[in-house]
Amino acid sequence: MEKLRLSKLMSERGLCSRREADEWISRGWVFVNGEQVKELGTKVFPDVKIEISEHAKREQARLVTVILNKPVGWVSAQPEKDYRPAIELLTVENYALTDIPRVKNPRALDNLAVAGRLDIDSQGLLIFTQDGRLAKQLIQPDSDIEKEYLVRVEGVRLKGEEHKKQLETLRGGVLELDGKRLKRAGAEWINDDQLRITLREGKKRQVRRMCELVGLRVTGLKRVRIGKLRLSDLPEGKWRFLEADESF
């Protein structure tokens, strides 16, 4: 049985991110089979018992996650030419609720990372988090967390049996992107020019490219749900904290 880096194993088990694991190890907050480990780079067998101290648990409990209703024209992560990153919208002025002192906490918005992209031409639910476990849960390739989109289209909406075939094609099982077969998706017409599409994966510009493959051009796209979390009535350009009783 081959040994693994302790920080990698902790991340794979969903205990924390690798960065957090290294920090906790250096502080002496990690115990392997009951023994304290403080040396970075320590390797262990995959079946060891790993425990973290109460200090680490309290640190983890303080990590925050932020929900933003991203407008069109803002990039999710790194700034691009002539466009600004959506994290710049996380200001006191754009906060959607009234507990302003929480926003002004010096640690409240430090070290936030985007967890799942939303392209520049799309709007809606975007997540930023300090919690490496949550980020991994949302973006890992084998994640089954659903993402729901309202999609406005123009183009050929087929009738009768061809209409059913168009929808079934969108729902997956036959479409390929980047040389790989897509997972099955949810797709239904809301009205003559709007679809509801639900995905369990997140390839680059996936909804737009799927629609193009069946003769539809996307003119508007809004993400309204990730897992159990809905955008609801959060105004465009506004943000709030994920509450303790909310989850994905």
Residues assigned a catalytic role:
119
φ and ψ at 13, to 5 degrees?
A: -80, -5
**Do 110 and 184 touch, CB atoms closer than 8 A?**
no
Two tokens, residue 240: 């709030």
Q: What's the CA gap between 157 and 147, in Å, rounded?
A: 23
Q: What's the CA gap between 148 and 190, in Å, rounded?
A: 13
DSSP strand pairing (123-129 vs 4-5): unpaired
**Do 164 and 145 touch, CB atoms closer than 8 A?**
no
Q: What's the CA gap between 168 and 172, in Å, rounded?
A: 7
Residue found under tokens 């929900």: 67
Q: What's the CA gap between 243 and 28, in Å, rounded?
A: 30
Q: What's the CA gap between 139 and 20, in Å, rounded?
A: 18
Two tokens, residue 27: 């502080």
Helix, strand, coil percentages, rounded to 5, for the chain: 25, 30, 45
Dihedral in degrees, nearest 10, Cα atoms 53, 30, 113, 224: -60
